[in-house]
């Protein structure tokens, strides 16, 4: 799987990671990430921030791909961890962050089942169109717990499917998250329909 994603990222990271659109201008690509953040994250901001100033928060995007949403996060939150198992994607984001002087973006080349972040460091986590690609999601979620601060939120946005078709059933995510030690807080399926996703689940560690 990692080898396949490396190949895809070298060929056309923006096509494979986002929506299947082959050609993007920089403006189109990053504007789409801004729209995703505004419609799916900022609409749930009180729950995400839990009374904290966004500029003082550390947020994590697991499976950041080519950085479509990472860049949008960088303009709103204090510190952004862009995590992926794909070295090509991480290199792409690191280069872009350097070019644009995004000093609050930190890239992490992680293990498939461990984001490898400092303990008690993260206020909010997003897995956007990523959960279905994770080989061992229960292990990943368990390893993630140590990096979460109290009251941290974990958001999973994906579509129903079998894994083979770039989707995973909502019931599977709910069951695996519970097994990993999380409780469901909210569902915001209505916020992600325009992005052709089926569900938006928000969890917290038990």
Residue 91: which of 109, 78, 105, 104 has the closest Cα?
Answer: 109
Give the pLDDT confidence score for residue 150 in this predicted structure.
95
Helix, strand and coil content of the chain, in percent to the nearest 5, comes to 45, 25, 30
The CA distances from residue 27 to 24, 71, 77, 88, 113, in Å, are: 8, 12, 21, 21, 33
Q: Hey, is 55 helix, strand or coil? A: helix
Q: Alpha-carbon distance 65 to 35, whole Å?
A: 17
Q: Is 11 exposed, middle or buried (0-12, 13-18, 19+ CB in 10 A)?
A: exposed
The domain ranges of the chain are 2-205
Give the pLDDT confidence score for residue 15 in this predicted structure.
41
Give the pLDDT confidence score for residue 23 in this predicted structure.
66
Give the pLDDT confidence score for residue 167 in this predicted structure.
92
Q: Alpha-carbon distance 38 to 128, whole Å?
A: 14
Residue 172: which of 119, 131, 142, 121 has the closest Cα?
Answer: 131
Give the pLDDT confidence score for residue 66 in this predicted structure.
83
Q: Hey, is 190 helix, strand or coil? A: helix
2-205 architecture in CATH? 3-Layer(aba) Sandwich (3.40)
pLDDT in tens, the chain (206 residues): 444 444 444 444 444 444 455 566 777 877 888 888 888 888 888 888 989 999 999 999 999 988 889 999 999 999 999 999 989 889 989 999 999 999 999 999 999 999 999 999 999 999 998 999 999 999 999 999 999 999 999 999 999 998 777 899 999 999 999 999 999 999 999 988 877 788 999 999 99
- Give the predicted TM-score (pTM) of the model: 0.86
Give the pLDDT confidence score for residue 21 in this predicted structure.
53
**Terminal alpha carbon distance of the chain:** 31
Residue indicated by tokens 């995703």: 36
Q: Hey, is 155 helix, strand or coil? A: strand
């Amino acid at each position: 799987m990692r080898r396949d994603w490396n190949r895809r990222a070298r060929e056309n990271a923006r096509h494979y990671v986002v929506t299947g659109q082959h050609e993007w201008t920089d403006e189109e690509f990053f504007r789409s990430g801004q729209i995703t953040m505004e419609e799916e994250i900022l609409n749930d901001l009180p729950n995400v921030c839990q009374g904290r100033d966004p500029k003082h928060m550390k947020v994590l995007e697991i499976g950041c791909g080519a950085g479509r949403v990472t860049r949008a996060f960088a303009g709103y939150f204090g510190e952004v961890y862009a995590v992926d198992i794909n070295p090509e994607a991480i290199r792409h984001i690191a280069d872009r962050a350097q070019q644009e002087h995004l000093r609050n973006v930190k890239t992490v080349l992680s293990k498939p089942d461990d984001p490898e972040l400092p303990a008690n460091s993260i206020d909010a986590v997003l897995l956007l169109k990523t959960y279905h690609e994770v080989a061992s999601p229960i292990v990943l979620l368990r390893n993630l717990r140590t990096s979460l601060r109290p009251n941290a939120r974990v958001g999973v946005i994906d579509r129903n499917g079998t894994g083979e078709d770039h989707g995973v059933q909502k019931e599977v995510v709910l069951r695996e998250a519970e097994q990993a030690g999380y409780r469901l807080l909210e569902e915001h399926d209505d916020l992600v329909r325009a992005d052709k996703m089926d569900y938006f689940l928000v969890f917290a560690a038990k």
